[in-house]
Amino acid sequence: VFTGMNGSAIENFSCVIYNVSFMNCTWQAGRDAPEDTQYFLYWQNSRYVDKMECELYIKDENGRNTGCRFQNVKIETEKAYFLVNGSSKESLIQFYDECIELYKI
């Protein structure tokens, strides 16, 4: 069951890997997300390692996180799990998660 306000989860999530060890992920704020919504990205490239939060967020003109730059990425498995959750003082924010086959990135 998804908790949170409908339309508050991020949209258009995508990631690009370049120079072997760098990855950029970007997204857009949910169309119905309150203006104070802030998003946080976590990823895990194996079920045997802990989730890692983004260390270098890309921000929009309002200071909202709309992407992440990862450095020293080690691709150890074929799939990676991504989770973007959010917070707002106005309402609960739906999370977004996706398991991506890395060769498709």
How confident is the model over 36-83, as pLDDT tens digits? 999 999 988 777 778 889 999 999 998 999 999 988 877 666 788 999
Flag whether pLDDT at 103 surpasses 80.
no
Q: Average pLDDT over the chain, rounded to whole?
A: 88
pTM of the predicted structure, to 2 decimals:
0.86
Give the range of the structural domain holding residue 58, as residue numbers without chain letter: 11-104
- Signed CA dihedral, 44, 45, 49, 54: sign only: negative
Flag whether pLDDT at 94 surpasses 90.
yes
In a domain? residue 30: yes
For position 28, which CATH number holds?
Answer: 2.60.40.10
In a domain? residue 48: yes
Domain count, the chain: 1
Burial of 2 (0-12, 13-18, 19+ CB in 10 A): exposed
Q: How far from 103 is each of 56, 77, 79, CA to CA, in Å?
A: 23, 10, 8
